[in-house]
């Protein structure tokens, strides 16, 4: 009998976490590594949110267990903000507060998937989706998209992989890792297709506020009534409010699905830290100025990174519309020798640029998209430029 169960033994470490960890190790060893690996804002959490958490620490009510599904005020606030900004009419019992959006991702799949059920996952996908689907007993069915289609999946592609076992579609807009944002018409088409076949939509809206230029955010279930009540929204405060370390997210869906997920959570983690929940409440009910300031900085860096990447010979990058990632294509770089070395794939490219240019990027293999790589632009303007100059010099 194996020491580690088959179920957990087959899960790979998150590649984005691994690359950030390796970059941190090299930095600790004194190497001047510029890391584009992290999926988190480089800003501190806005002051009024931190103050609310400090006050919560001093309140003895915060020191105790609280309701598994979350503080009632926070569930209420999430429902209000979702109605206001996503156009979804939801009530507090439809909201479950979780340890980051990540816990919602797993719990949503666990609540919806039976063994053998298929979950369609458009690629490039966020690393966690296929692993969480497998962990929940389901079967991830990737569907490849590429830069020529703006990394957006079409109904024809979805229909081509649909079977009698298709239970749900994982949808994310704005996207990690590509920065793609679907428009309402594209969402409506997908929603109509899902509605027609009784397929659930698990839609990850964690980057909802990070859209740039003329691009606007829409929530798929709000623009596609055909989906009826077969949808789950995943979101949280991590990306919007620079709160990745606080671990507060949520899932929203039909009350029976949310209740099933809450039952699971009651045995896994119980309530989310009350201090974190109070901080999240302050974030949702306070001013958004700091969010718009961070967005402005991300937008500036997005434009710089997009321009500098396209200036590197053999690198092509479409302009991301949301989140904080560029997803350039490196296939042409792989066809020639770099510094006397011929690289077989983007995995080798990632290791090579880390060693030779001290630049950390995440190979596309991690997202089901070999030939590409993800670079986060959530780092300081100076570091961003410095690292890209080094990458450009190495790949010139």
Residues that bind ligand PLP (CB under 6 A): 39, 100-102, 126, 172, 176, 204, 206, 236, 238, 244, 249
To the nearest whole angstrom, how small is the minimum distance from the Cβ of residue 14 to ligand PLP?
9
E strand segments, the chain: 34-35, 95-98, 118-123, 139-144, 166-172, 200-204, 231-236, 249-252, 325-326, 337-338, 341-342, 359-360, 362-363, 373-376
Cis peptide before 174 (omega within 30 of 0): yes
238 versus 277: smaller Cβ distance to ligand PLP? 238
Q: Two tokens at 78?
A: 């999430």
Helices 346-357 and 15-28 cross at an angle (nearest 10°) of: 20
Distance of CA 39 to the CA centre of its chain: 8
- Our CB check for ligand PLP shows the closer of 236 and 328 to be 236
Q: In angstroms, give the least distance from the CB of 394 to ligand PLP.
A: 27
Instruction: Please name which of 295, 277, 287, 288 lies closest in space to residue 78, comparing C-alpha atoms.
Output: 277
Between 186 and 204, CB nearer to ligand PLP: 204
Tokens (6 digits) for 343: 């690289």
Answer for the pair 101, 236: CB distance below 8 angstroms, yes or no: yes
What is the widest separation between alpha-carbon atoms in the chain?
64
C-beta closer to ligand PLP: residue 100 or 191: 100
Q: Minimum CB separation from ligand PLP for residue 170, in Å?
A: 10
Residue 155 beta carbon to ligand PLP: minimum distance, rounded to whole angstroms: 22
Residue (249 or 253) nearer to ligand PLP, CB: 249
* Structural Rg of the chain based on CA atoms: 21
Kindly give the pairing relationship between strand 118-123 and strand 139-144.
Answer: parallel
Smallest gap from residue 227 Cβ to ligand PLP (A) = 20
CB of 100 to ligand PLP, least distance (A): 3
Rounded least distance, CB 102 to ligand PLP, Å: 3
Query: 79 or 243, CB closer to ligand PLP?
Result: 243
Q: How far apart are CA 154 and CA 161, in angstroms?
A: 12
Instruction: Give the residue at shortest CB distance from ligand PLP.
Output: 100
- Tell me the sheet residues that pair with 172: 204
φ, ψ of residue 121 in degrees (nearest 5): -125, 100
Q: Please identify, using beta-carbon distances, which residue of 142 and 249 lies nearer to ligand PLP.
A: 249
């Amino acid at each position: 009998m194996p020491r580690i169960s088959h179920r957990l033994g087959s899960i790979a470490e998150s590649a984005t976490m691994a690359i950030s960890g390796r970059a941190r190790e090299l930095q600790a060893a004194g190497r001047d590594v510029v890391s584009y690996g992290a999926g988190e804002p480089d800003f501190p959490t806005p002051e009024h949110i931190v103050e609310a958490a400090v006050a919560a620490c001093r309140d003895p009510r915060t020191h105790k267990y609280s309701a598994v599904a979350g503080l009632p005020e926070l569930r209420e606030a999430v429902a209000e903000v979702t109605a206001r900004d996503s156009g979804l009419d939801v009530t507090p019992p439809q909201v479950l507060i979780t340890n980051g959006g990540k816990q919602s991702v797993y719990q949503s799949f666990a609540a919806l998937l039976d063994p053998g059920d298929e979950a369609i996952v458009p690629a490039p996908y966020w690393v966690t989706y296929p692993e969480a689907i497998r962990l929940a007993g389901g079967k991830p069915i990737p569907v490849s998209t590429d830069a020529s289609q703006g990394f957006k999946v079409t109904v024809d592609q979805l229909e081509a992989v649909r079977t009698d076992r298709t239970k749900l579609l994982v949808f994310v807009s704005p996207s990690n890792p590509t920065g793609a944002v679907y428009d309402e018409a594209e969402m409506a088409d997908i929603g109509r297709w899902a509605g027609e076949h009784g397929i659930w939509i698990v839609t990850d809206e964690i980057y909802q506020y990070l859209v740039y230029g003329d691009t606007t955010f829409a929530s798929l279930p709000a623009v596609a009534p055909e989906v009826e009540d077969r949808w789950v929204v995943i979101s949280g405060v991590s990306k919007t409010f620079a709160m990745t370390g606080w671990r507060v997210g949520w899932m929203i869906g039909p009350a029976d699905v949310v209740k099933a997920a809450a039952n699971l959570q009651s045995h896994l983690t119980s309530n989310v830290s009350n201090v974190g929940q109070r901080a999240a409440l302050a974030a949702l009910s306070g001013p958004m100025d700091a969010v718009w300031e961070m967005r402005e900085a991300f937008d500036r860096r997005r434009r710089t990174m997009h321009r500098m990447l396209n200036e590197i010979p053999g690198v092509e990058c479409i302009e991301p519309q949301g989140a904080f990632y560029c997803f350039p294509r490196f296939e042409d770089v792989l066809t020639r020798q770099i510094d006397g070395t011929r690289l077989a794939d983007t995995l080798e490219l990632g290791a090579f640029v880390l060693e030779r240019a001290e630049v950390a990027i995440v190979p596309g293999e991690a997202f089901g998209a070999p030939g590409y790589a993800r670079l986060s632009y959530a780092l300081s303007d100076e570091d961003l430029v410095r690292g890209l100059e080094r990458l450009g010099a190495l790949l010139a």
